Amino acid sequence: MRRRKTRTIYLGNVPIGSGHHISVQSMTKTDTRDAVATINQIKRLEQIGCEIVRVAVPDLEAADAIKVIKSHISIPLVADIHFNYRLALKAIENGADGLRINPGNIGSRAKVEKVVKAAAASNVPIRIGVNSGSIEKEFKGIIKGEGKKLAETTARAMVKSALKHIRILEGLKFHNIKVSLKATDVQTTLTAHTLLARERDYPFHIGITEAGTLLTGAVKSAVGIAMLLLKGYGDTIRVSLSAPPEREVVAAYTILRALGLREQGAEVISCPTCARSTIDVESIAEEVEQRLLGISLPISVAVMGCAVNGPGEASRADYGVAGGRGRGVIFRHGKVTRRNVDEASIIEALLSEIDELKGRR
Ligand code: SF4
């Protein structure tokens, strides 16, 4: 697939744009004012490969907490701010690497100028974020019709809103911008990106907003994000889930890996199980997946339930186990390394084959 050509911006040391890999981000779900809880959550995200983290900044106490949070983490931090320019200034002063704020919602020109000046001085990019559910009144009249027509008119209203905010920044000679256009349905999201891509070359932050709980949200996000990526849109992604943020990161990498866009980390392949299964595939696969989070080399690990189809599949993966009468056969790069491993020892036996984990034991 060909990526839409964009300019590059930098969030801290992470480049975002078509000349670079598609970065993975998440958002903390802790109270930002609770710096310890927020740092701990970000550290867990760092361990599993999250590359950018966003924190909500609802008040000055939260903006103040950024200082201590930043001193304990190593990935770039984006401050998510609604309306209040003082919070934006404080966040920049405390070391935020990026802002998510819509300049059109800040208020007077003087306030906007202060924020933009501070952002420019600290080389802090601003993300303009338009959500279909909160389009300004002035553009709501554009939204008409049903079905396809509704998707198209909603997308047009979203793009008009985005351009309004973009022009404010451009008017102040500020181009360190990325844009997100999030709708709850895939067609509207896709149309909005297509329309804005004709107008500007700023990188896109993509995702499906309010996607849902773990399973439904991940599926909906995968469909939406994959459609955008296949059209070449998307330079950084966040999967939004009503689930722990670590799950968002896993979902994001899974989507990128399925499309061949990132190879980092372990892919666990497991069979759906059937009456032939002789081991507890589900719980073994779940635990193996958890234990392999954060691994940096691209590897595939198969967990298969029986000796009928299992060995073939397991041997195609880098590492694998296939069940047989409550016991397991362990494979490594296509060769059997251990037979007759009892079920309780399968996970340890499988993980002990993985080179990258050896240094951690
Ligand atoms: S690998 Fe074996 S247990 Fe798993 S679905 Fe296939 S036949 Fe069933």
Same domain, 246 and 338: no
CATH number reported for the structural domain that contains residue 322 in this entry: 3.30.413.10
Q: Is there a domain that residue 185 lies in?
A: yes
CA 250 to CA 284: how far, in whole Å?
18
Q: In this predicted model, what pLDDT tens digit does every residue of 324-342 receive, in sequence order?
A: 877 999 999 888 899 899 9
Whether residue 305 lies inside any domain: the answer is: yes
Overall average pLDDT of the 198-202 stretch: 98
Neighbouring-strand partners of residue 301: 268, 319
User: 361 falls in which pLDDT band (50, 70, 90)?
Assistant: very low
Q: Taking residues 18-46, report their average pLDDT.
A: 97
Q: Is 306 marked as a binding-site residue? A: yes
Residues 171, 49 within the same domain = yes
User: Would you call 360 exposed, middle or buried from its count of C-beta atoms within 10 A (0-12, 13-18, 19+)?
Assistant: exposed
Q: Which residues pair with 319 in a beta bridge?
A: 301, 332
Residue 306 sits in which domain range?
Answer: 266-358
* 313 and 347 both lie in a single domain: yes
Residue 81 lies in a domain: yes
* Secondary structure class of 82 (helix, strand, coil): coil
- The residue among 225, 258, 291 that closes a domain is 258
Does any domain span residue 1?
Answer: no
- Predicted confidence (pLDDT) per residue in 144-179, tens digit: 999 899 999 999 999 999 999 999 999 999 999 999
The number of the ligand 1 atom at minimal distance from the alpha carbon of 278 is 3
Mean pLDDT for 178-188 is: 90
In a domain? residue 92 = yes
**Does 50 show up as a binding residue in the annotation?**
no
CB contact at 8 A, 253 and 238: no
- Specify the residue with its C-alpha closest to ligand 1, atom 2: 306
pLDDT of residue 360: 57
**Ligand 1 binding residues, C-beta < 6 A:** 271-274, 276-277, 304-306, 308-310
Q: Which of 202, 233, 258 is the last residue of a domain?
A: 258
Nearest CA to ligand 1 atom 5: 273
The answer to whether residues 130 and 212 belong to one domain is yes
CATH number of the domain enclosing 42: 3.20.20.20
Same-domain pairing of 221 and 349: no
**Residue 4: inside a domain, yes or no?**
no
Residues 104 and 68 both lie in one domain? yes
3 falls within a domain: no
Across the range 244-263, mean pLDDT stands at 93
Residues 278 and 252 in one domain: no
The answer as to whether 2 is a domain residue is no
Q: Are residues 71 and 196 in the same domain?
A: yes
CB under 8 Å to 293, separation ≥6 — which residues?
A: 47, 48, 246, 250, 265, 266
Q: Measured from the CA of 313, which atom of ligand 1 is nearest?
A: 1
Dihedral, CA of residue 64, residue 69, residue 75 and residue 81, to nearest 10: -30
Neighbouring residues of 350: CB distance < 8 A, sequence distance ≥ 6: 288, 301, 303, 319, 320, 321, 328, 330
Atom of ligand 1 nearest to the CA of 309: 1
- Clarify whether residues 310 and 292 are in a common domain: yes
Locate 209 and state its tokens.
Answer: 């907003």
How many domains does one find in the chain? 2
How many other C-beta atoms can be found within 10 angstroms of the C-beta atom of residue 140? 11
- Residues 32 and 172 occupy one common structural domain: yes
Give the helix/strand (H/E) hosting 188: helix 186-197
Residue that wins the pLDDT comparison between 1 and 124: 124
- Among 216, 240, 258, residue at a domain's last position: 258
pLDDT > 70? residue 9: yes
In percent, the amount of the chain with pLDDT more than 90 equals: 77
Cα of 358 vs centre of ligand 1, distance in Å, is: 30
* Backbone Cα Rg of the chain: 23
* Claim to verify: residue 68 and residue 217 sit in the same structural domain: yes
Q: What is the mean pLDDT of residues 122-131?
A: 96
Do 254 and 270 sit in the same domain of this protein?
Answer: no
User: Which pLDDT does position 310 carry in this prediction?
Assistant: 67
Which bin fits 165, alpha (ψ -120 to 50), beta or left (φ > 0)? alpha
